Amino acid sequence: MKTGYKVYDCMTTKPVSITSDASLEQCSKMMAKNHVGALVIKDDHKSIGLITEQDIVRKVVAKGINPLTKKVKNFMEKRLKTVSPKSDIYDALIIMRDSNIRHLPVVDSGKMVGLLTLKDILKIEPSLFDLLVEKFELREAKRKPVDRVIQNEAICQNCGAYVEDVVKVKGSLLCERCAKEQS
């Protein structure tokens, strides 16, 4: 399903970057300052990798490694999936979905020219969200209140309100107000 939008229509052309010798602390502070979830790693003005919030959490913090003493180069991703700026955003989203990534470097003639994020795509074409959902599975389904009652507490499937007392109406869990509206 082509959208007609090209990657260059929505990519970030000047992604925030840092050198590979920077500490993970500097990296994290730069992400926080710029409100971004990934940084392009550049040495000598050449893009050599990417580091994301998930990299820091999963490869460092979750393993008990002190991020204050480690360098970006030891945890950045060097083997990157990429996309052409001329590709349709649908094709880019398929790459992202199938690779389970949220940041996709945009490469033209061997040079990184931008960074595409899931947010970038969904801002332009929110209808593509359904394509992402196809791939996701509810890994924590037993901890989710959707479609079940925990001691009669749940989230109303009509208005989204958390309520202590729900009623099942036509297969949906509804708060008292929404249940009355359905009657």
Q: Please report, in tens digits, the pLDDT of each residue of the chain (183 residues total).
A: 788 889 999 999 999 999 999 999 999 999 999 999 999 999 998 999 999 999 999 999 999 999 888 999 999 999 999 999 999 998 998 899 888 899 999 999 999 999 999 888 888 877 777 666 555 544 445 555 555 444 556 777 888 777 777 888 887 888 888 888 887
Distance (Å) of CA 178 to CA 14, 155, 182: 47, 12, 6
Q: Is the pTM of this model over 0.75?
A: no
Which residue shows structure tokens 């990798």? Answer: 49
Q: Give the span between the Cα atoms of 147 and 156, in whole angstroms.
A: 10
**Domains along the chain?**
7-135 (3.10.580.10), 143-182 (no CATH)
